[in-house]
Structure 1
Amino acid sequence: MISVSDVRRWRQPALDSVFQALGSRRDTLVGFDDELNAAKSPAGWTGEAAQAAARHHGELTERMRRIVAGISAVRRAVGEAADAIKAIQRTLGDAEYLAGRHGFGIADDGKIIDVLCTPVAPGPAGEAQMRERATMRVELADRVEQVLRRARDVDTDLAAVLERAALDRIDDGCGSSLNDASIAGQAAGGLSTIEPPAGGSPADNAGWWSSLSESEQAAMLKAHPDWLGNLDGLPAVVRDQANRARLGTERTRLNAEAARLEAEISALGDRLTRSSNERTDLSIANALSAAKAELNTIRAELIPSLDAIDATLAKGDRQLLLLDTSGDKPKAAIAAGNVDTAEHVTVFTPGLGTTVRGDIQDYDRHMAQLRWQAEQEADASGRSTSVAAVTWIGYEAPQVSEITNPNRSVASDALAQRGAEKLAGFLNGIDASRPTDPHMTALGHSYGSLTTGLALQKGTGVDDAVFFGSPGLGTSHVEALKVPTGHSWVIEARMDPVADFAAFGIDPNQMKGIGGLSAKEVVLPDGRHLNESVGHGSVAEKVGYLAPGSTSQYNMSLIVAGLHDRSVRDRAIGAGDLLQTPIPGLY
């Protein structure tokens, strides 16, 4: 069993030296090819001695071929093992650095040991530190688990090649030259590349990916983009490349499926016309109806969703972080900016009626505007920074047409619960994919605020959360959101009835400990005039919560950029709130 101390003791430069020596030895032997062939049958030599010599020459040639094949196989295995060890030790080193920063150590068996010398201070700051350390402990355990998993795989593969070579079991191929044998041996010496951990956490996935060598990562990206595009914990640039590669494949698959369904519909129509059996007619009619519905979904929903994604990516400076065409509705997430390098990352989750086909372009446009606004405000304050803004439609939001379906209705939290699992993984994946965590803000509108609130309760590493037009967060206690104290915010516009529903926990603007941000018309100290947001809409050009030039959007941009001190505060108690039971301790 491979231990952490074994990984620490491995010496990659020694394997590099062996790799070079084996290459030199192989080249020397292959260089004898012409000389060996020339000695096969000297001109004019005949008889039994010549025949015996030919037989011996053949045996010698075969033996040389097998030696060359064995050397080539071992050389490739050693070279790939050296590259893998470099990546494995780098990943272990990163985990040890993180462990030291948070007061942990890594035991020889991979367990995480608490070595914090300074006790955690009491109060909100101490509680936040304890939550962060608990999260980090789990993340470290997952990362080290993948280091050891990968190390065992490399050790096993290398040992298997060495054993086969020692037992002369490396195939020298069907060629006639020593160079042919070298090529055959090299093909037999490759190490396997371990697959992603089944059901892995974002930290598992991050540990697995970083433990692969650069050549293995490139090969994995080329061969299996379907494995990587939606894997939380991988770098955004990797997910983007994988999902862009999948776009064309998905379009081809859907067009082929549409053509198949068209042929099936035509054939079923012909059968129905010719049939005279009532029971057969019903069976054919049902099959015909199902085929037509499936074809309509492809033409009206799936392919237009890919079109909308393509159009959004064409704007430039975008990353496609999620692409999923399974289920009733396609899912996607697109970032404006670079999630891997931005100092501030915000993730927006929309609500009722949202579809990729109908909304990804508009939401992306508003997120790009919010990103620009946040960077502008940071520049103006002398704290220049970088921002990435993600539109996350990674769940199937409820639709107006589904209101009577208890499993999909906006009146139920069923879809939000399922979406929260995915959103929590996505948020944690951003932190896990980066060597340093960004300042991360979660934005949730309407039913999307419920999805966001439920996700935050699972623990996500989110630093700020802004809920607007919210019917409830799935809790009545701000502490349950596991966001640092004083960093949960609510915006409620005038004449927004949804914001007073309190259907999923207490009305957020009556929740003790949550900060209120204004959506009213204001004039800033620098003379800028900001517009009021009215009603429930998020992206209405003039009055929506995200409308450029609105107080609501301005406040969100400040929270996203970490400029909390400049925000315009307001609890926004309206008629709808007065009809509810008063909650003490309002902001």
Structure 2
Amino acid sequence: MVSFAEVRRWNPGALETVHGELGKRRDDLVGLQDELDGAKNPDSWTGEAADKSAQEHQKLVEDMRALIAEVSTVRLAVARAADGVAKIKQQIDEADHEAQANGFQITEEGGIRDVAPPQDVPEDQVEEVKQHRLQIRDKLSAEVEEILDRAEDTDEELAKALNAAEKDEVDPGEGDSLAGAATPAGVQAMAASAGKPAEDSPKANAEWWKSLSDEQRAALRENPPAWLGSRDGIPAEVRDAANRANIDDTRRSLQDEKAKLEQGGVSEDEQEKLKQVNDKLKAVDAVEETIARDKPPRQLLVLDSSGERLKAAVAVGNVDTADHVSVSAPGYTSTVDGSLKGMDSEAQELVAKSEDELARGGKDGSVAAIAWIGYEPPQKDENLDVFGDSVVSSNSAQEGGAKLNAFYKGINASRDDDPHLTAIGHSYGSTTTGYALQGGGHGVDDAVILGSPGVGTNDIEDLKVPEGHAYRLEAKDDPVADFARFGGDPSHMDGFKDLSTEKSEHGSEVTGHSKYFKPDTTSQHNLAAVVAGVPEQAVTGKTDGVGDAISYVPHQVQEGASQLKDWGSAAGSKIKDVFS
């Protein structure tokens, strides 16, 4: 029988860690299939010794399958226990809050203590107040009893799986495949019984997931369909498991496509398609290398090989539990193979710096930061005419903005609580972020734009973020921040708060277009302060660029308009390097 004091100390995070480690062990064992196949008798070997060797090999296969089935069964039980403990901890928190609000305390033993009875109760209300408090006490006692019953059930279910594995009572099923033993038939059937959401929207996906039984959710964690990883509104840990499981299939599919293109020679028309496939394969490698960084743990939240380029999003930290979550969208020339690892490093630095800012402000809390390349920004091989017509238009930003809006919504919909969510957009990514925010319903609490050529509007109210919670950073010698290419120059939009990029007691100055996340700078400090929800610790200040200075002499702009347009057309190739 578990005690209330023991249940209070239960930690679902520890179970999630065990769940992850068991998954690694299972995958290591399944990965021995090739070695196991290579140890089979050669066809030319016959006789008594060969028969005995074949029997020993078959026994080894059966033992390996039994071990894998046991690891998988325990892992599934740990997943169920983690979900159960998370719910129990939430119940405890709610009961504690209710007790405190009414002047009671739940003791370590699970008793109810009246620590703050009401004072100066009118004599004619004493009995009524007494009966009311007895009702509250009885209600709290019933909640404690329900918590202990659920804890007992959770403990027994996990113990049952552990005992079955210890006594070799787990059935690995039929067949010789090691992978087949990793997902028992019962798990497959339970996962299949969950069905699919009625529609692919953050709200529908979240409601579907929350409607499933504990057994169905645990089975889907163990046997996730590929589509589960792409659904906004599904918990980050579940998306991560599904996307990781889909990496090998994605690579295999791209390799098959490459082989078909190369078969019999590559025509001129197929050259571009082959380049896209090769770039996607490089991007898959970049994703795998990035998520291998596990201190702190990563979560793979997007893996999409459709379109011309592969899309991905990787979180540093746990998006399901973090108090503060940021989502950074990159700009022009960004790709998964060329940009993800660098953005991931910036996210790791931002998490650490944000947690430092929380501590400096005397606050507790955890932080997760997401590098989101969930769209296809324009690339260098596309023509860039700064002032004239250009294929570097708002189209990619608008399409990406719709995806980013759904991604924001999914973070909030997947959770029972409301995290502090910060949207960060750099360069053309700030335009994408602007369109995402204009979609509304996003739940973004703070928005930060860096070196922005525009956010798709001249009215800050269109972004639908709380008043006073939109921030702008512009570095010295950053010409992109003055392009006013997409909706006007944010430097002159009412409502944005200017944060400094210059030297301060909190860090050094940044210059140019690409150093806003650089460690130990005022710019990074300010980003961290906003992400941590302590913007009062940021350093305010505005840096005027060349475009801002010109804006103060409109007659000169009018007189030199044609020269500026000519300059814009001729400077395209140079600006490309600034963007990247």
TM-score above 0.5, yes or no: yes
Partner residue, 1:478: 460
Contact 1:206 1:432 in 2 (8 A): yes
Q: Quick one: distance in 2 between partners of 1:197 and 1:577?
A: 50
Return closer, same or farther for 1:505/1:294 CA change in 2, 3 Å cut-off: closer
Q: Quick one: distance in 1 between partners of 2:383 and 2:447?
A: 28
Q: Quick one: distance in 2 between partners of 1:303 and 1:289?
A: 21
- Render the CA deviation track for 1:1-54: whole Å, top value 9, x for unaligned: xxxxxxxxxxxxxxxxxxxxxxxxxxxxxxxxxxxxxxxxxxxxxxxxxxxxxx
Q: Which of 464, 469, 472 is the aligned partner of 1:487?
A: 469
Q: How does 1:275-290 map to 2 (within 5 A)?
A: 288-290=267-269
User: Which segment is superposed worse, 419-428 or 564-573?
Assistant: 564-573
Partner AA of 2:535 in structure 1: H
Q: CA deviation at 1:293?
A: 3.5
Partner residue, 1:533: 510
Partner AA of 1:339 in structure 2: V
- Which runs of 5 or more structure 2 residues have no equivalent in the other structure? 1-79, 95-185, 555-580
Q: CA deviation at 1:505?
A: 1.6
Partner residue, 1:564: 535
Q: CA deviation at 1:507?
A: 1.3
Partner residue, 1:195: 195
Q: Quick one: distance in 1 between partners of 2:545 and 2:336?
A: 33
Partner residue, 1:358: 338
Instruction: Kindly indicate whether residue 406 of structure 2 is the aligned counterpart of residue 425 of structure 1.
Output: yes
Q: Which of 274, 294, 300 is the aligned partner of 1:320?
A: 300
- For residue 489 of structure 1, give the secondary structure of its aligned residue in structure 2: strand
Partner AA of 1:426 in structure 2: F
- For residue 401 of structure 1, give the secondary structure of its aligned residue in structure 2: coil
Q: CA deviation at 1:513?
A: 1.3
Q: CA deviation at 1:227?
A: 1.6
- Render the CA deviation track for 1:151-170: whole Å, top value 9, x for unaligned: xxxxxxxxxxxxxxxxxxxx
- For residue 425 of structure 2, give the secondary structure of its aligned residue in structure 1: strand
Q: Quick one: distance in 2 between partners of 1:231 and 1:255?
A: 25
- For residue 407 of structure 2, give the secondary structure of its aligned residue in structure 1: helix
Instruction: Kindly indicate whether residue 444 of structure 2 is the aligned counterpart of residue 444 of structure 1.
Output: no
Return closer, same or farther for 1:405/1:507 CA change in 2, 3 Å cut-off: closer
Q: Which of 344, 360, 363 is the aligned partner of 1:380?
A: 360
Q: Quick one: distance in 1 between partners of 2:392 and 2:261?
A: 35
Contact 1:320 1:334 in 2 (8 A): yes
- Render the CA deviation track for 1:226-258: whole Å, top value 9, x for unaligned: 220010000000000000000011112222332
Contact 1:398 1:409 in 2 (8 A): no
Partner AA of 1:533 in structure 2: V
Partner residue, 2:171: none
- For residue 328 of structure 2, give the secondary structure of its aligned residue in structure 1: strand
Contact 1:410 1:447 in 2 (8 A): no
Return closer, same or farther for 1:262/1:476 CA change in 2, 3 Å cut-off: same
Q: CA deviation at 1:218?
A: 3.7
Partner AA of 1:578 in structure 2: A
Return closer, same or farther for 1:191/1:356 CA change in 2, 3 Å cut-off: closer
Partner residue, 1:29: none
- For residue 400 of structure 1, give the secondary structure of its aligned residue in structure 2: coil
- For residue 332 of structure 2, give the secondary structure of its aligned residue in structure 1: coil
Q: Which of 375, 380, 383 is the aligned partner of 1:400?
A: 380
Partner AA of 1:455 in structure 2: A
Q: Quick one: distance in 2 between partners of 1:520 and 1:358?
A: 28
Partner AA of 1:509 in structure 2: S
Partner residue, 1:332: 312
Instruction: Kindly indicate whether residue 225 of structure 2 is the aligned counterpart of residue 247 of structure 1.
Output: no
Q: Quick one: distance in 2 between partners of 1:320 and 1:405?
A: 36
Higher CA-based Rg? 1
Q: How does 1:287-298 map to 2 (within 5 A)?
A: 288-298=267-277
Partner AA of 1:229 in structure 2: G
Partner AA of 1:333 in structure 2: A
Q: CA deviation at 1:292?
A: 4.0
Q: How does 1:27-176 map to 2 (within 5 A)?
A: none
Q: Quick one: distance in 2 between partners of 1:511 and 1:441?
A: 20
Return closer, same or farther for 1:582/1:381 CA change in 2, 3 Å cut-off: farther
Contact 2:203 2:413 in 1 (8 A): yes
- Render the CA deviation track for 1:414-440: whole Å, top value 9, x for unaligned: 000000000000000000000001000
- Which runs of 5 or more structure 1 residues have no equivalent in the other structure? 1-82, 98-185, 266-286, 525-529, 538-543
Partner residue, 2:38: none
Contact 2:382 2:392 in 1 (8 A): no
Q: Quick one: distance in 1 between partners of 2:269 and 2:191?
A: 47
Q: CA deviation at 1:221?
A: 4.5
Partner residue, 1:176: none
Contact 2:191 2:219 in 1 (8 A): no
Instruction: Kindly indicate whether residue 479 of structure 2 is the aligned counterpart of residue 502 of structure 1.
Output: no
Partner AA of 1:248 in structure 2: D
- Render the CA deviation track for 1:335-355: whole Å, top value 9, x for unaligned: 000000000000000000000
Return closer, same or farther for 1:346/1:190 CA change in 2, 3 Å cut-off: closer
Contact 2:198 2:204 in 1 (8 A): no
Partner residue, 1:308: 286
Q: CA deviation at 1:510?
A: 1.3
Contact 1:225 1:243 in 2 (8 A): no
Contact 1:441 1:560 in 2 (8 A): yes
- Render the CA deviation track for 1:316-373: whole Å, top value 9, x for unaligned: 1100000001101110000000000000000000000000000100010011101100
- For residue 522 of structure 1, give the secondary structure of its aligned residue in structure 2: coil
Instruction: Kindly indicate whether residue 369 of structure 2 is the aligned counterpart of residue 389 of structure 1.
Output: yes
- For residue 512 of structure 1, give the secondary structure of its aligned residue in structure 2: coil
Instruction: Kindly indicate whether residue 439 of structure 2 is the aligned counterpart of residue 458 of structure 1.
Output: yes
- For residue 465 of structure 1, give the secondary structure of its aligned residue in structure 2: strand
The alignment's TM-score, normalised by the length of structure 2, stands at: 0.60
Partner residue, 1:72: none
Contact 2:235 2:414 in 1 (8 A): yes
- For residue 381 of structure 2, give the secondary structure of its aligned residue in structure 1: helix
Q: Quick one: distance in 2 between partners of 1:513 and 1:404?
A: 30
Q: CA deviation at 1:297?
A: 2.5
Partner AA of 1:294 in structure 2: K
Partner residue, 1:578: 549
Partner AA of 1:368 in structure 2: Q
- For residue 402 of structure 1, give the secondary structure of its aligned residue in structure 2: coil
Q: Quick one: distance in 1 between partners of 2:464 and 2:483?
A: 23
- For residue 321 of structure 1, give the secondary structure of its aligned residue in structure 2: strand
Return closer, same or farther for 1:237/1:582 CA change in 2, 3 Å cut-off: farther
- The number of residue pairs the alignment matches comes to 370
Contact 2:276 2:309 in 1 (8 A): no
